[in-house]
Amino acid sequence: MLSQGASANSNTAEDRAGGLYVQASTLTVSSSSIDGNKANYVGGVYTELSASITLMQGASANSNTAADWGGGLYLGASTLTVSSSSIDGNKANSGGGVYTELSASITLMQGASANSNTAADWAGGLYVQASTLTVSSSSIDGNAAGATGGGVYAILLSSITLSQDALANSNTAEDRGGGLYVQTSTLTASSSSIEGNAAGVRVGGVYAILSSCITLSQGALVNSNVVADWAGGLYVQASTLTALNSFIDGNKANYGGGVCTLSSSSIMLSQGALANSITAFFAGGLYVQESTLTASSSSIDGNTAREEGCGVYVRMSSSITLANNASVEYNVAKYCGGGISLEISSTLTFANHTRICSNTTTEGPGGGIAASGESTIQLGPGVLTLCNNIASTDGGACALLEASALIDDDLSDASGQPSGSRTQLAVHGNTASNGDGDGLAVLVDSSIKLGVTVVALAGNIAGQRGGGLFFDATQQDEAGYSPIQIAFWHLDLVDNVGQNGDRGGLCSYSRISLLLGGRTNATGNKAARGGAMALSDAAVLVQPGHMLIAQHNSAQLDSGAVVLLAGASLLLLETTKCLTSCPSANRGGGSCEPACLSLECNWDCGDCGKQRMDWAGEDARQTCDQDTCSFFKHTYASTISEGCAPVCFTAACDWSRELCADPRDNVQVSPLIDVATFASIQMTQK
């Protein structure tokens, strides 16, 4: 025991233990010092073989130096308890303050400190290998590492616990893990802070890799950490992060200002966790790649990205879920996705009341959300609110790009009757300053299919076309039709404005289906042409039982309600007894099905008129293509129940002679068939 001002100072050893060597023994240091000692290995105290060390009542192990590892103390299969004492200002190559291994245990408590230690390589403060570190009401501050782990370096199934106002602040690492480096280990921080740390390359706060597990709870703080490249606050690779009622605020990085997660990692934010006021080049709040993120009763607010994905940047088959009053608000990005950016086959799921509001892109689409690269937005039960978002180009609230989709939990039965958990999508007060679709913009072969969702778009403003909704042209077949990419069950368009363009509350260049038994209400919308709805080379298919209302809309030029441009059509479908050989899935899909060419089947929703009939007069002068319409199909196909073959139902092939007699008769009474078509059929019959 060293007590009452005893000292073991300024000693030197050529090999190890400049101050004291303790093997399978107990050392208690009270109000005494072990300072200024030097050795090749372990400048201060070297312990092994179940030794036990206690520093208490103002004891110190300060300013010791080791050429290799363990500046202050070394623990090999031993225990260290530090209470109201200090391990400060020590130096080593690795483990500037303390170096532990072989199931050792360190406890810092009651105002203990491990501060201002330095390591040329790893672990400026504490090196923890296959050991445990518990810090309570104590500090690990101002330590520095030349490579990795400024405050703590933990590997090989180590366990770190920070609690009761423990501090791991203002540490630095030249390479990665300014605050803590955690590899195949666990870190639990409760009512503690990891703040103001910095790293030269990656991760100012906590670097966690290789199946590590990080838990933040009870007001834990990971704030104001800074890094030049990846992850200001936390970096999670092939690991898990759970934040409960905690704060990840004010961090800065090039990628992932708050959290950067990669390689099958998992992040959970819940119970009021916050990821706010963070700055990055990409992903101001969270960067999620090949990983999952769940945010429940939490907020991702006030973040800034100098490029894309300000609140959350999600890519490469990642999946995120926002639920239970989660919010993404007041984020700002330069390009895609002020609130959330989805890329490369990623998925975003909403459930139980979520808000995406007041986010901004300064030079790109998707003020609230931008989804691209075949990504999917899934609406679950509850309410999703997209409000007051601003995009400089398209999609004030949400932009769907590059074959992405917005869908819900529709489980429609064979009759087409919507079935599934009801969802509400409220889109209001959004702006597309210089583009199309202030509410929702659907671009580049993307789609919306909402079979059980009540969609309300109100008070949105588009700088160009589509105050509430804008649907760009999708890929078309050889007949010039696109497949049905847009479907709504319940749609309200109220007080939306197409400000400088000539298209109204809804502007579409793609086919839209208004689903069975639903309701569409367009009220008080304004545009130059087509106040409520403007269609160009597109069709709206109103399914049986769907109520379509357009009232009190206005246009500066033409058609206050609906304007049909460049071959557009509005088709009201009736409930009829269609042949079993023409199921509903075959109708209106862009391909002519002769079996569907009847009044009962609604003339195949116009497909045959577009694909077969418009050029029938010219086609009748051509020779039948025997490669596609063989003699067998032309004459004997009925023997194998093929019936009227679509490839033979052309004017050049005489409308397939007797096998297509019924469709030919139906053509004569169809309102969709032009004069040239009818004349060619008459000649064939004669």
* 164: confidence class by pLDDT, cuts 50, 70, 90: very high
- Give the C-alpha separation, 336 to 362, whole Å: 9
pLDDT band at 401 (very low <50, low <70, confident <90, very high): very high
Distance between CA atoms of residues 407 and 409, nearest Å? 7
Contact criterion met (CB below 8 Å) for 459 and 495:
yes
Beta partners for residue 550, in sequence order: 522
CA 665 to chain centre: 54
Q: Which amino acid is at 671?
A: P
Q: How far is CA 101 from CA 19, 45, 134, 302, in A?
A: 20, 14, 15, 42
Contact residues for 301 (Cβ-Cβ < 8 A; gap 6+): 274, 275, 276, 277, 311, 327, 328, 329, 330, 331
The pLDDT confidence band at residue 642, using thresholds 50, 70 and 90, is low
Other C-beta atoms lying within 10 Å of the C-beta of residue 496: 33
pLDDT of residue 616: 65
pLDDT at 676 over 50: no
Dihedral in degrees, nearest 10, Cα atoms 616, 619, 620, 624: -130
Question: What tens digit of pLDDT does each residue of 220-253 get?
Answer: 999 999 998 889 999 999 999 999 999 999 999 9
- Residue by residue, DSSP assigns 621-640 as TSPP-TTTS-HHHHHTGGGG
The reported pLDDT for the residue numbered 418 is 67
**Residues 73 and 91: beta-carbon distance below 8 Å:** no
Cα gap 601→582, rounded to integer Å = 7
Domain ranges, ordered by start, for the chain:
1-199, 213-323+332-337, 364-539, 596-685
pLDDT band at 639; cut points 50, 70, 90: very low
- Higher-confidence residue: 298 or 409? 298
Q: Is 35 helix (H, G, I), strand (E, B) or coil?
A: coil
How high is the pLDDT of residue 633?
62
CA atoms within 13 A on the CB side of 136: 8
Residue 22: count of CB within 10 angstroms of its CB: 20
- In the sheet with 91-92, reading across from the earlier edge strand, the strands are 12-16, 38-41, 65-66, 91-92, 118-119, 144-145, 172-173, 198-199, 226-227
Cβ(570)–Cβ(542) below 8 Å: yes
pLDDT of residue 274: 86
Residue type, 83: S
Residue 425 DSSP label: E
* The pLDDT value given to residue 686: 42
Residue type, 243: A
Which one-letter amino acid corresponds to residue 75?
L
Would you state the structure tokens that stand for residue 437, as one six-digit string?
């679709």
Reported as a pLDDT band with limits 50, 70 and 90, residue 14 is very high
The residue count for the chain: 686
Helices in 437-522 by DSSP H: which ranges? none
pLDDT at residue number 387: 96
Enter the DSSP assignment of 610: I
> pTM, whole model, 2 decimals?
0.83
Q: What is the pLDDT of residues 27-52, one digit of tens each?
A: 999 999 999 999 999 999 999 999 99
Name which residue leads in pLDDT, 473 or 71. 71
148 contacts 175 by C-beta, under 8 angstroms? yes
Residue with tokens 């819940």: 270
Cα separations in angstroms, 15 against 9, 21, 124, 184? 17, 11, 21, 31
**Alpha-helical regions (H) of 419-541:** none
- Measured CA angle at 209 (ends 172, 77), to 5 deg: 80
Residue 659 has pLDDT above 70, yes or no: no
Q: Which tokens go with 298?
A: 């939490």
d(CA 36, CA 7): 11
* Mean pLDDT taken over the chain: 87
The answer to whether 352 touches 379, Cβ cutoff 8 Å, is: no
248 DSSP β-pair partners: 275
Residues 219 and 245 sit within 8 Å (Cβ to Cβ): yes
What one-character-per-residue DSSP string does 309-326 give? -SSEEEESS-EEEEESSE
Q: Residue 637 above 90 pLDDT?
A: no
Which is nearest to 144 in space by CA: 108, 161, 120? 120
Average pLDDT over residues 609-618: 58
As a whole number of Å, the end-to-end CA separation of the chain is 120
What was the pLDDT predicted at 39? Answer: 98
Cα 20 from Cα 94, distance rounded (Å): 19
Residue 640 has pLDDT above 60, yes or no: no
For range 298-312, the mean pLDDT: 87
Distance CA 337, CA 341 (A): 4
Residue 638 confidence class, pLDDT cut points 50, 70, 90: very low
* Whether the Cβ atoms of residue 195 and residue 233 lie closer than 8 Å to each other: no
83-98 pLDDT per residue, tens: 999 999 999 999 999 9
CA distance 204 to 253: 8
Strands (E), 539-631: 539-542, 547-551, 554-558, 562-565, 569-572
Q: Show the tokens assigned to 277.
A: 């006021």
Q: How far, in Å, CA of 63 to CA of 128, rounded?
A: 20
Q: pLDDT tens-digit profile of 152-162?
A: 999 999 999 99
Q: Which residues contact 128 (CB under 8 A, 6 or more apart)?
A: 100, 106, 152, 153, 154, 155, 158, 160, 185
Q: Phi, psi (5° rounding) for residue 507? A: -125, 125
Average pLDDT over residues 270-290: 84
463 φ, ψ to 5°?
-65, -25
Cα–Cα distance, 612 to 624 (Å, whole number)? 14
Element (H, E) at 252: none
Task: List beta partners, residue 540.
Answer: 512, 570
Encoding tokens for residue 398? 């949400």
Kindly state the average pLDDT of the residues 659-665: 72
- What gap in Å lies between CA 42 and CA 216, rounded to an integer? 33
For residue 142, the model assigns a pLDDT of 98
pLDDT above 70: residue 73:
yes
Task: Find the range with the poorest average confidence among 137-151, 544-558, 568-582.
Answer: 568-582
Mean pLDDT of 433-453: 87
Contact 155, 185 (CB under 8 A): yes
With b for 16 or more beta-carbon neighbours within 10 A and e for fewer, the 530-558 pattern comes to bbbbbbbbbbbbbbeebebebeebebeee
Is residue 188 very low, low, confident or very high in pLDDT (cuts 50, 70, 90)? Answer: very high
The burial of 201, by beta-carbon neighbours within 10 Å (0-12 exposed, 13-18 middle, 19 or more buried), is given as middle
Cα(234)–Cα(249) distance, integer angstroms? 11
The first and second tokens of residue 119, run together, are 């390591």
CA separation for the pair 466, 443 (Å, rounded) = 12
Tell me the two tokens of residue 245: 């009622």
Residue 214 pLDDT:
98
Q: Which of 252, 262, 302 is nearest to 282 (CA)?
A: 252
User: Does residue 194 carry a pLDDT above 80?
Assistant: yes
